[in-house]
Amino acid sequence: MSWWRTIVRAGTTASMLLALTVASGCSSDGDRSAGPTPAASDVVASSAAPNLQPTPNLVVRNDLAEVFAQAGTTGTFALHDVTGGQLTVVNQSRAERPYPPASTFKIPHSLIALETGVVADENEKIPYGGKPQRIKEWEQDMGLRDAVRVSNVPVFQEIARRVGPEREREWLRRLGYGNTEIGTVVDRFWLDGPLAISARDQALWLSRLARAELPASAAHQRLVRDILRLEQRDGYTLYGKTGWTTATEPGLGWWVGWVERDDRLYCFALNLDMTRDADAPKRVATGRELLRRLDVLPVG
CA 162 to chain centre: 22
Q: Determine the length of the chain.
A: 300
What does the alpha-carbon distance between residue 239 and residue 260 come to, in Å, rounded to a whole number? 9
The answer to whether 41 is a known catalytic residue is no
For the chain, counts of helices (H) and of strands (E): 11, 7
Q: How many CA atoms lie within 13 A of 21 on its CB side?
A: 10
> SS3 of 252, please?
strand
- Helix ranges (H only) for the chain are 2-25, 65-70, 92-95, 106-116, 144-149, 153-163, 165-175, 189-192, 199-210, 218-228, 282-293
Q: Which of 24, 28, 41, 103 is catalytic?
A: 103
What does the alpha-carbon distance between residue 139 and residue 243 come to, in Å, rounded to a whole number? 19
Q: Return the DSSP state at 104.
A: G
> SS3 of 64, please?
helix
What does the alpha-carbon distance between residue 79 and residue 277 come to, in Å, rounded to a whole number? 26
| Cβ atoms 244, 101 nearer than 8 A | no
Give me the phi and psi of 240, to 5 degrees please: -175, 165
Return the biggest CA–CA distance within the chain: 56
| Cβ atoms 100, 192 nearer than 8 A | yes
The catalytic residues are 103
